[in-house]
Structure 1
Amino acid sequence: MTSEKWLVLTYKIPPEPAARRVAVWRKLKAMGAVYLQNGVCLLPQTDDHVRRLRVLENDIASNGGDAVLLSTVGLDAAQEEKVVTRFTADRDEAYREFLGKCADFEAEIARETAARHFTYAELEENDEDLEKLKNWLAKIRKLDFYGAPLAAEAHERLESCVALLETYARAVFECQDENRSATTDRQENPP
């Protein structure tokens, strides 16, 4: 007997305007839903998902569509595993994209370091980029219902980015301190 319960939402939305269909799709993807086929998606059964899907069901109906929300379980462990695999595959895809952005962040820091571009403005920009990475990973984790395999690697990579920015920040502070000292020396001892 399987233990996992899921919510199944089946829906139809009039083809026009297309923006309504896209809005529903985006909401479901933002919740972490997986599509079994067009207009049929699945989420783990939680109180939050029930509430949000009922609101979405109402939105679909008020826009001329039709939706049915059901609770279900897999027939056996193999079926349950198929569903969990779909969820983890979706999250791993998101983690892979995240890891690519971490590589971009690391490359940017390497370029700035190689060019000895140690400014507060550049540090602030890189700090903002790191915050975006942190927020993005938090969103992915929130939707990682079953512990996708790349989760640990993504967490480690973010920690590496944090450490890299700390090293870059120290270089910026040292460079700026040297610049201040040189300016002070020139002011105190003019040529």
Structure 2
Amino acid sequence: QAFLVSTSSVIGESDLVALYNAARDDEYEEILDKCADFHEEVAKEVRAKHFTYSELEENEEDLTKLRGWFEKVTVRDVLGAARRKEVVKALDDCARTLEEFAASVYEAEDTAIFQHGAG
């Protein structure tokens, strides 16, 4: 089934677009906040030297959730909210942080295997 709906707004079209984009930008702001939390969580693990596969998997899951959330918001972002590009960059930064953490995990595991095997 298909429906064709025609509407008129009480306020001007530009006001309606601004309200809609503001709602999307609010959602993007939440994602940006969660990206900041992601970086802090990884930094906490680095400070504690928790270079384990389970920590890596947990952080991979968190990034996957952030990306999924972003995809849901972008589906609603049909009018081009301003903060979308900022979130794309923030998610790329999260991915780089995760890659760096993964490298540390692999290095720690390799060191542990070498030390265990040498003893």
TM bucket normalised to smaller: over 0.9
- Which aligned pairs between 1:63-142 and structure 2 lie closer than 5 A? 70-73=5-8, 79-142=12-75
Structure 1 gap segments, 5+ residues each: 1-46, 52-69, 187-191
Q: Matched residues in 1 for 2:45 and 2:101: separation?
A: 9
With normalisation by structure 1, the TM-score equals 0.59
Residue identity (%): 40
- Which aligned pairs between 1:106-185 and structure 2 lie closer than 5 A? 106-185=39-118
Shift in Å, 1:130: 0.5
Structure having the larger proportion of residues in strand? 1
Task: State whether residues 130 and 162 of structure 1, in contact with CA within 8 Å, keep that contact through their aligned partners in structure 2.
Answer: yes
Q: Matched residues in 1 for 2:114 and 2:96: separation?
A: 27
Aligned-residue CA RMSD in angstroms?
1.7
- Which aligned pairs between 1:14-93 and structure 2 lie closer than 5 A? 50=3, 70-73=5-8, 79-93=12-26
- Displacement over 2 Å in runs of 4+: none
Structure having the larger proportion of residues in helix? 2
Instruction: Name the larger-Rg structure.
Output: 1
Shift in Å, 1:72: 1.6
Q: Matched residues in 2 for 1:166 and 1:73: separation?
A: 49
- Aligned residue for 2:97, secondary structure, equals helix
Higher RCO (Cα < 8 Å, 6 or more apart): 2
Shift in Å, 1:173: 0.2
Q: Matched residues in 2 for 1:127 and 1:81: separation?
A: 40
Aligned residue identity for 2:46 = T
Q: Matched residues in 2 for 1:153 and 1:174: separation?
A: 32
Shift in Å, 1:74: 5.2
Aligned residue identity for 1:155 = V
Q: Cα deviation per residue 1:120-171 (whole Å; 9 max; x = unaligned)?
A: 0000000000100010001011110111111110110000000100000000
Number of matched pairs: 118
Q: Matched residues in 1 for 2:91 and 2:73: separation?
A: 13
With normalisation by structure 2, the TM-score equals 0.93
